[in-house]
Homo-oligomer: A and B are copies of this chain.
Amino acid sequence: MEYETPLFFRVMQYADRADRDVIDMVSGNPDWEPPEALREGLGEYADLEPDQFQYPPSEGLHELREEIAARRNVDTEQVVVTNGAGEANYLAMARALERDRGDEVVLTDPVYPYYPGKTTMLGGRQRFVAADETGQLDPADVRDAASEETAAIVVNSPNNPTGAVYPEETIRELVAIAEEHDAILVSDEVYDHFDLSGRFASALGVDSDHRIVTNAFSKSMAITGFRVGYAVFPPHLVENAKSRHMLVNVAGSRPAQYAVLRALRETEPEYYEQSRELLAERVETFTDALEAAGADYTTPQGSFYVMARFEGYPGTLENVERLIDEAGVAGMPGEAFGDSRADWLRFALVTPRVEEAADRLATHFE
């Protein structure tokens, strides 16, 4: 079996090896401070008794699950703490496919490339529905694509790579379509704290046995390397997901869970607000510079990403590598996200040097 390996790591490696200063706008790694309580929690954990260094409960530290459940207004038993949103999406998609109700997974184009990769690995088939130019998804198009063969519909709002935030009506319709076909809506909401539009709607707001919501603290707490995420399952789907989690990973890493629990309890809303404001400023700075350079670009409603198009410079891996060498800016090739964005490049706004990056791009393409 061959999988499609996401290109992220390949581009990052190329940028690391470049023989010049490169502004890294490849992956969604926040460059800002984690919550202070997270550092304190980890430091405190390092001195605990040995019994605290042993297996946590497989489904996650109970108090962490309780904190998550209280915030999401669900039952603690519905929450499985995972190794980041990556494992949460894997468990959710596996759960949808193993019900033997079809093997198609409806995905968007453009798409976050891990989703089609996971689909292949799990023995499913991808069916793509095109988003519009702004990244919005028309539920009517999803309804046309859905059928008895549909096991899951996987969406991501705020969206990577388009920056689109789906309105509540879209989420409500997607749940309804999943219900009509006995499929599962998998709603990956990992950028929920980075909604710049005020329109974000969680799929948990729609009561249904046909949706699984995935999330993580990777972005909201600026700790993509800690690998603490979670999935919220309908009650009748949670047990087998817990079994799969146990059989694959036994449990998630306890020091990371402990630190996140501490941070979740003690971090004030201002922390998240400041991260969002920082991002909003960078969006403005970067898009202003792109505008001045005469490039096409998207203005994200949420998430970390701006897509840009430079005339005669399609978003291929080769062009991304040339841009690293010649302009000192590393982005992601649009083609990694599907045919519809093959002319585009994606830039993650996770560096204080967004203005310099835009200037370098303007100089390079002028």
Residues of chain A touching chain B, judged by Cβ–Cβ distance below 8 Å, are 1-3, 5-6, 9, 27, 29-34, 39-40, 42-43, 45-47, 50-58, 83-84, 86-87, 90, 98, 100, 114, 117-118, 121, 222-228, 240, 242-244, 246-256, 259
CA distance A87 to B90 in the complex (A): 14
- Nearest B residue to A5 by beta-carbon distance? B243
A85 to nearest B CB, angstroms?
8
Top 3 nearest A-B pairs (CB, nearest first) are: A253-B253, A225-B254, A86-B250
Given A57-B9, A225-B254 in contact, is the A248-B90 Cβ separation under 8 Å?
yes
User: Taking the nearest CB of chain B, how far is it from the CB of A64, in angstroms?
Assistant: 13
Q: CA A40 – CA B57 in complex, angstroms?
A: 25
Whole-angstrom distance between the Cβ of A276 and the nearest chain B Cβ: 17
12 more CB-based (< 8 A) A-B contacts, given A46-B46, A255-B259: A29-B55, A30-B54, A32-B50, A39-B47, A42-B42, A54-B223, A55-B224, A84-B251, A86-B249, A90-B249, A114-B247, A225-B251
A2 partner residues in chain B, CB cutoff 8 A: 240
Complex Cα gap A24–B126 (Å): 48
A289 CB, nearest partner CB in chain B, Å:
24
- In the assembly, what is the distance between CA of A285 and CA of B98, in Å? 48
Alpha-carbon distance A308/B47, docked complex (angstroms): 36
- Contacting A53 at CB < 8 Å: which of B56, B90, B226? B226
Question: Measured between alpha carbons, how far is A42 from B45 in the docked complex, in Å?
Answer: 8
Residues of B within 8 Å of A5, CB to CB, are 242-243, 246
- The reply to whether B226 and A255 form a contact with Cβ atoms under 8 Å apart is yes
- C-alpha spacing A227/B254, complex, angstroms: 8
- Across the interface, do A83 and B27 meet the contact criterion of CB distance under 8 Å? no
Nearest B residue to A57, CB-CB = B9
Verify B43–A244 contact, CB threshold 8 A: no
Q: Which residues from chain B contact A83 at a C-beta distance below 8 Å?
A: 83, 249-250, 252-253
Contacts of A54 in B (CB 8 A): 29-30, 222-225
Given A34-B50, A42-B45, A253-B255: A247 in contact with B3 (beta carbons within 8 A): yes
B46–A42 touching, CB < 8 Å:
yes
What's the minimum C-beta distance from A10 to chain B, rounded to whole angstroms?
A: 11
The residue from B3, B6, B46 contacting A43, defined by CB atoms under 8 A apart: B46
| Residues of chain B with a CB closer than 8 A to A252's CB | 83, 227, 253
Contact, CB under 8 Å: A254 / B240: no
Known: A55-B29, A224-B54, A225-B253. A86 touches B248 (CB 8 A): yes
Report B-chain residues with C-beta under 8 Å of the C-beta of A51: 29, 31
Chain B residues within an 8 Å CB radius of A227? 249-254
B53 A34 Cβ-Cβ under 8 A? yes
Contact in complex: A226, B254 (CB < 8 Å) = yes
Q: What is the CB-to-nearest-CB distance from A55 to chain B, in angstroms, rounded to a whole number? A: 5
Nearest neighbor of A252 in chain B, beta-carbon distance: B227
Minimum CB distance partner of A31 in chain B = B50
